[in-house]
Structure 1
Amino acid sequence: MLTSNELRWFYPGRIPEDIKVWFQQHCLINQEQSPEKRDDVYLYVPESDFLGIKLRQGNLEVKWRTAELGVLSFGELVAGKAEKWAKWTCSDSTGEIFQPATVLDKSSWVTMQKVRYLQPYQVLPDFSVQPVVSDENIDNGCSLEITELLIQNNTWWSLALEANGEDFRLMTNLQVTAESIFTTYRGAKLLAINSYAYPHWLSILDY
């Protein structure tokens, strides 16, 4: 089981150019980094914004919101709802069960195309933050991602932070990373009203 504290925002349309430039110039170690492209298949569970179930790259992933942590603000431009999530991943050694083809004809499963840029950060013992190439072997860290989403011919984008590590450090890892990266943010306001996780987003899309 993986436990994380998260902040996430969703907005319709493509990623604004100024936010994309900010992310590439001020957040990415490698500004020439190619995005990850993949299709995830989500189970739509009405009125269950605390539960996320999806098929991803041959695995079944289940996420459960264990706590709502209130609104965090970072300067005048950023405010978001922090949440704590637990994630379980189940794999199939045969490669036959957790495949999108097994559920694509079911209306309750929704395919989502993602184009995602990801930058992991390490939170050091003195609570300073540094970007790293990979989050492997990091005891305490937080990843920043910006993702363009295509779902049933509708385009959205999402910005998110996901903090991992020792349980008593999760909130600190989230806050110090957000404070560090948002010092250079000059884009449109990121509002708490637009801050939620994937299950709630799917519910407001009315699928």
Structure 2
Amino acid sequence: MYNSKEIRWFYKTEPESIRNWFEENGYIFENTEARTDYYLPLKDKNDLSIKLRENNIEVKQRTGRSENADLTDSIQGYFEDYTKWSFSSAEDDSLFHEITEKEKFSWLPVKKERIGFKLKKDDHDKIVRVALEEFPPYGCQLEYTRVKVKDEIWYSFALEWFGDQELEFDLSILDEIIGEHKLEASDSMGYAEFLNKF
């Protein structure tokens, strides 16, 4: 079982200022490997998602949602608390393979290309950036994702706090990332709510 606190936004039109910041800092979609997750359609269920990902079955439940929060003058959204369970499927699970390889049973394939980094404290209590592949005991992941659902391309920017402590850091980095773009509360939601649009 894994707990996290997240805030996420989705956009149909790519926010160029966000993409430019990531590219200027060496985070490029072409350098990352795409993956496809398969979601069980749960219509009108905005607080629960069930997906198949890389031989795992993941259940993610939203356990709390904040009021509309102002992170900076240009950023508004909803903090959401989640609990996630992950179970390994058997290698010879024929049903799993029929869903992920033959796309049977109406599960929704969602292709994701993700770039970003994690923030953590180093040995001198300084906030530093590390790769997504690193697993500090606690921190915050900042990610920018290109998402393909039913031949539509969307973009998502998100922060995810993980671990047994909540990392506090200067949120001015968010204004650097978004530039002239504004993050609105109306675009702030988790994957379960977003996928119910389809």
Tell me the SS of whatever aligns to 1:70: coil
The residue aligned with 1:86 is 83
Percent of aligned positions that are identical: 30
Q: Quote the Cα distance in structure 2 between the aligned partners of 1:133 and 1:152.
A: 30
Matches within 5 A, 1:73-152: 73-97=70-94, 99-102=96-99, 104-107=103-106, 109-123=107-121, 128-134=126-132, 136-152=134-150
CA drift at 1:129: 2.4
- Where has structure 1 moved over 6 Å in runs of 4 or more? none
CA drift at 1:165: 1.2
Which one is further off, 126-135 or 150-159? Answer: 126-135
Equivalent pair of 1:128/1:176 in contact (CA under 8 Å): no
Matches within 5 A, 1:7-46: 7-13=7-13, 15-25=14-24, 28=25, 30-31=26-27, 34-46=31-43
CA drift at 1:98: 6.6
Q: Does 1:182 align with 2:177?
A: no
| CA gap 1:134/1:96 in 2 versus in 1, 3 angstroms | same
User: Structure 1: where are the runs of 5+ without partners?
Assistant: none
Code of the aligned partner of 2:129: P
What is the alpha-carbon root mean square deviation over aligned residues?
Answer: 2.4
The residue aligned with 2:187 is 194
Q: Quote the Cα distance in structure 2 between the aligned partners of 1:196 and 1:127.
A: 32
Equivalent pair of 2:61/2:84 in contact (CA under 8 Å): yes
Tell me the SS of whatever aligns to 2:5: strand
Tell me the SS of whatever aligns to 2:86: strand
Which one is further off, 67-76 or 185-194? Answer: 67-76
User: Structure 2: where are the runs of 5+ without partners?
Assistant: none
Code of the aligned partner of 1:18: S
Equivalent pair of 1:123/1:142 in contact (CA under 8 Å): no
Tell me the SS of whatever aligns to 2:192: helix
Q: How many residues matched?
A: 194
Q: Quote the Cα distance in structure 2 between the aligned partners of 1:53 and 1:100.
A: 16
CA drift at 1:202: 1.2
Q: Quote the Cα distance in structure 1 between the aligned partners of 2:156 and 2:99.
A: 28
CA drift at 1:31: 4.3
Give the TM-score of the pair, scaled to structure 1: 0.83
Give the TM-score of the pair, scaled to structure 2: 0.86
Q: Quote the Cα distance in structure 2 between the aligned partners of 1:98 and 1:118.
A: 33
Q: Does 1:50 align with 2:47?
A: yes
| CA gap 1:43/1:55 in 2 versus in 1, 3 angstroms | same
